[in-house]
């Protein structure tokens, strides 16, 4: 962003992108104006490992969830890449408290909006609560019917939330 001429900017991050945004905000507090994360977590719990293992085999996913990814990556590459992601994310469980970026959360100083779908099958509800507790001054908006792709399924509501937050 510096190379593009931006002194300060905001971050929006979904899932692993939210983890990346939190790390960037913690390590670059002078650069980040605001941050929105959704479907994100700061640690991997035993419950998370069980969820990841349950979705390891993409051939068992519904066609609606699997086909868009297969169209982009190809059937074999998507299956292989997803298994590698499951194996990779599981490695965090071996770290103290399963930390991905827990120790960085107190360093985040920008206004932060956490959005969470209460029916997210990939990110249990204790994760956004943890983020809320450990990111100073953060706000949490729960979407009762939202799942992991809430920004797609409820695009109008999601976009309005983000727009309002960014304009504050």
Q: 81-94 burial, b for 16+ CB within 10 Å, e for fewer?
A: ebeeebeebbebbe
- Contacts for 56-61 with beta carbons within 8 Å, 24 or more apart? 56/82, 56/83, 56/86, 58/82
Q: Would residue 148 show up in a list of annotated catalytic residues for this protein?
A: yes
Query: What whole-number distance in Å separates Cα of residue 107 and Cα of residue 5?
Result: 25
Contact call for residues 28 and 6 (beta carbons, < 8 A): no
Spatial separation of the C-alpha atoms in residues 58 and 13, rounded to whole Å = 24
Is residue 116 part of the annotated active site? The answer reads no
List the catalytic residue out of 116, 127, 148, 151: 148
Bridge partners (DSSP) listed for residue 114: 37, 140
Q: Is 120 a catalytic residue?
A: yes
Options 10, 15, 99, 109, the catalytic residue: 15
Facing residues of 143 across strands?
Answer: 117
Annotated catalytic residue within 116, 120, 127, 138? 120
Q: Which residues are catalytic?
A: 15, 120, 148
């Amino acid at each position: 962003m510096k190379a593009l001429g931006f002194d300060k900017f905001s971050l929006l991050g979904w899932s692993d992108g939210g983890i990346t945004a939190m790390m960037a905000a913690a390590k670059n507090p002078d650069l980040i104006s605001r941050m929105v994360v959704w479907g994100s977590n700061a640690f991997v719990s035993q419950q998370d490992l069980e969820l990841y293992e349950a979705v390891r085999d993409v051939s068992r996913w519904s066609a609606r969830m699997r086909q868009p990814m297969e169209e982009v990556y190809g059937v074999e590459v998507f299956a292989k890449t997803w298994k590698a992601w499951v194996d990779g994310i599981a490695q965090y469980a071996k770290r103290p408290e399963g930390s991905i970026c827990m120790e960085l959360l107190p360093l985040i100083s920008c206004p932060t909006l956490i959005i969470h779908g209460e029916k997210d099958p990939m990110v249990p509800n204790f994760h956004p609560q943890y983020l809320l507790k450990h990111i100073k001054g953060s706000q949490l908006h729960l979407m009762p019917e939202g799942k992991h792709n809430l920004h797609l399924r409820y695009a109008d509501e999601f976009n309005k939330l983000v727009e309002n937050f960014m304009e504050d």
